[in-house]
Amino acid sequence: MIKFASIESKTFNLSTEPTQPSEENGTKKVKRKAPRKYIFILLGTLFLVSLLTVLKVNKILDIPEPVMLVGRWIFIGLLFGYGLYKRSLTTWILISMVMGAEVGYDLPQLASGMNIVSKIFIRLIKTIIAPLLFATIVCGVAGHSNLKQVGRMSWKSLVYFEAVTITALFIGLLAINISKAGVGVTIPDDIARTEAPTVKAQTAGEIILHVFPENIAKSIYEGDVLQIVIFSILFGIAVAMVKDKFRSPIIRFTESLSEVMFKFTAVIMYFAPFAVFAAIAYSVGHMGIDILFNLFKLLATLYVALIIFVLGVLVPIMLILRIPVKKFFKAVAEPATLAFATTSSESALPLAMEHMEAFGVPRKIVAFVIPTGYSFNLDGTTLYLSLATIFIAQMTGVDLSIGQQLVIMFTLMLTSKGVAGVPRASMVILLGTAASFGLPTWPIYIILGIDELMDMARTAVNVTGNCLATVVIAIWEKEFKRPEKIRA
């Protein structure tokens, strides 16, 4: 079972796993485990299928494709059985990813029409975001009536966000200069013919103006998370300033609304494995497995750089602040996996908020920091942008000095804050940056072809970074209740 216990003694459950008796009722909590023999059979089948695949790909042994197909589906059948044993959301999401990749590879025509399923899930998630943010932020600001803390959290969050994103930019810059992934890349014909989206350059004034809502209904409709956050904070401040007889009904309403929206999230999350299956199947069926090999060096550079960022930046932050690393990654596993599979940070937002509250971060901090981070703390995206911009220069033979690369980096640091809620925002920023510095835009067609594969990793890192930010701010505010002290 996946429990989400809030500091206010609330408990949420987003799992398909049946509730087991707790120790409080006199019985021990029983964890479901697959038999050891079953695990050995599963791992043995995986090893055998992998070995046959290596032998076939390297033309060491001519194995008929039907034999390979049967072997892969036997493994998937065993994996499905393992999921029936575990009955946890994380397990089913991971299994759905494997099954989706197989269906996309074996049945590409069928998989190409599955995108509608993942789109339905993302639409359902989007219906949660506005009321959930409004309710939790208003309740957090007005319920505590501590307006000074809201101001403190604002500047502390921005300082932390900028420090981490600048580090991410430097890592991306260093990684692409070491790997030189843009040198000698072969351009696939189907990607070269892809049309990149058009983009209108934003002025500094437009970027600043975009932060503030002119119509809250319009902000909700367009999915402008930052505008919803600004409105909710101002509304919460206003509620905190009125007399108690007016404030109390609003607080009770927002508390009730937030509880209902968390339960609403629990209902929708039952659909998550199906959405993940469809999203992966569509990606593989639409682009094909071979695309991974066409630009493997670029993909490898990004993934290695993101791993270095997580291990070299996020983990040391946890160690310095004495945040339990294993428990933290366990807490963010589901939202990060969901973000990876759907390439959508929004799909993981409600789940991330629940998990961080269960981890020991007060709801008022979670509700403020995570939504704000969606606009100001895109660690994975900023790292990718610095890497991709230099990749374009390398492909086109443009020699950029260290000074020019630093100017591009600081430009990206500013422009990446101005497109919250824009689909494929990183692609929009990349096009604008390339045009600003006189770089050709045709290499972006290549990146567009594998953008979804790259988007998976950077979106998962974005979610992980925002979750860690809530813990850091909670510790800074001296309100973090460490997991070992939380009553399960």
Span of 315-329, 408-422, 439-453 with lowest mean pLDDT: 408-422
Question: What pLDDT does residue 326 have?
Answer: 92
Span of 130-139, 195-204, 239-248, 371-380 with lowest mean pLDDT: 195-204
Question: What pLDDT does residue 32 have?
Answer: 63
The average confidence (pLDDT) of the chain is 76
Question: What pLDDT does residue 215 have?
Answer: 87
Question: What pLDDT does residue 345 have?
Answer: 76
Question: What pLDDT does residue 14 have?
Answer: 40
Q: Are 285 and 124 in contact (CB under 8 A)?
A: no
Share of the chain above pLDDT 70, in %: 76
Question: What pLDDT does residue 426 have?
Answer: 66
What are 357-411's pLDDT values in tens digits? 999 998 888 888 887 787 678 888 888 888 888 888 887 777 777 877 887 887 7
What are 122-179's pLDDT values in tens digits? 778 778 778 877 887 787 677 655 567 667 777 888 888 888 988 998 998 899 888 8
What are 208-220's pLDDT values in tens digits? 777 788 888 888 8
Q: For residue 40, count CB atoms less than 10 angstroms from its CB and return exposed for 0-12, middle for 13-18, buried for 19 or more.
A: exposed
Higher pLDDT, 65 or 412: 65
The pTM of this model reads 0.62
Higher pLDDT, 71 or 435: 71
Which residues are within 8 A (CB) of 299 and not within 5 positions of it... i.e. 6 or more apart? Answer: 292, 450, 453, 454
Structure tokens at 11: 């408990």
pLDDT tier, 17 (very low <50, low <70, confident <90, very high otherwise):
very low
What are 274-287's pLDDT values in tens digits? 887 887 787 677 66
Question: What pLDDT does residue 487 have?
Answer: 38
pLDDT tier, 233 (very low <50, low <70, confident <90, very high otherwise):
confident
| Average pLDDT, integer, range 21-49 | 69
| Average pLDDT, integer, range 5-13 | 36
Question: Domains in the chain, start-ordered, CATH in brackets?
Answer: 3-20+28-32+87-485 (1.10.3860.10)
> Nearest Cα to 275, choosing from 344, 330, 353?
344
- Give the number of C-alpha atoms closer than 13 A to the C-alpha of residue 238, restricted to the C-beta side: 7
| Average pLDDT, integer, range 337-345 | 80
The answer to whether residue 92 scores a pLDDT higher than 80 is yes
Task: Identify the residue whose tokens are 């072997």.
Answer: 71
